[in-house]
Amino acid sequence: MASRPFAAIDSVVTWLDEKFHLNGKTVCDLGCGPGLYTERYAQLGALVCGLDFSTNSIEYAKLSAVEKDLSVSYAVANYLTDPLPQDQDLVTMIYCDLCPLSPAQRQILLGKVRASLNHDGLFALQ
Ligand SMILES: C[S@@+](CC[C@H](N)C(=O)[O-])C[C@H]1O[C@@H](n2cnc3c(N)ncnc32)[C@H](O)[C@@H]1O
């Protein structure tokens, strides 16, 4: 319920892959939920980590990745207060999650994302 239909997810991931060529890239998905995007990034050859502050979601995502034999690193973390992984080629934040943040929270988040990105890394919001 807190994500888009699979067809929409597939279309977003296809667009991201066309734009950013995910194979071999380091990609971090903020607020990854149950891993609907992270798994697709991994299937396209990205080196993926997913962060979410929901323990249930991360436990589900970890199990799902094992069942599908996908290599995805997951962590329970609050992207506003916890350290983000470094040296990322791409950071994604999907499902309008920037919108409910206050201006101060947005500034914190954008600073943290910037610090987590490689020199030519990109932040994709969708
Ligand atoms: C609307 S859901 C979208 C999930 C996923 N991006 C998707 O589209 O399938 C938002 C997710 O962000 C997580 N989230 C919200 N605020 C967060 C925060 N400050 N730190 C980490 N995760 C957060 C929630 O637990 C939830 O899984």
In the prediction, which pLDDT does 97 show? Answer: 86
Which ligand 1 atom sits nearest the alpha carbon of residue 94? Answer: 6
In a domain, 44, yes or no: yes
In a domain, 107, yes or no: no
Strand partners, 125: 93
In a domain, 74, yes or no: yes
Which band of pLDDT confidence, cut at 50, 70 and 90, is reported for residue 3? confident
Q: What is the best residue among 4, 49, 52, 105 to mutate for testing ligand 1's pocket, by most ligand atoms within 8 Å of CB?
A: 52
Round to whole Å and give the CA distance between 10 and 107.
30
Round to whole Å and give the CA distance between 7 and 10.
5
In the prediction, which pLDDT does 77 show? Answer: 98
Q: What is the mean pLDDT of residues 12-17?
A: 97
| Count of domains for the chain | 1
Residue 1 pLDDT > 80: no
Tell me the pLDDT tens digit for each residue of 67-121. 999 999 999 999 999 999 999 999 999 997 889 999 999 999 999 999 999 999 9
Q: H/E element holding 50?
A: strand 47-52
pTM of the model: 0.97
Q: What are the φ/ψ torsions at residue 29 (nearest 5 degrees)?
A: -105, 115
In the prediction, which pLDDT does 126 show? Answer: 87
In a domain, 109, yes or no: no
Side by side, the strands of the sheet bearing 26-30 are 72-76, 47-52, 26-30, 88-93, 117-125
In a domain, 81, yes or no: yes
In the prediction, which pLDDT does 73 show? Answer: 98
The angle at the Cα of 18, spanning 73 to 70, to the nearest 5 degrees, equals 25
Q: What are the φ/ψ torsions at residue 50 (nearest 5 degrees)?
A: -125, 135
Which residue range is the domain that position 20 belongs to? Answer: 6-102+117-125
Amino acid at position 70, single letter: L
Residue 20 pLDDT > 90: yes
Share of the chain above pLDDT 70, in %: 100
Ligand 1 pocket, 36 CB below 6 A? yes
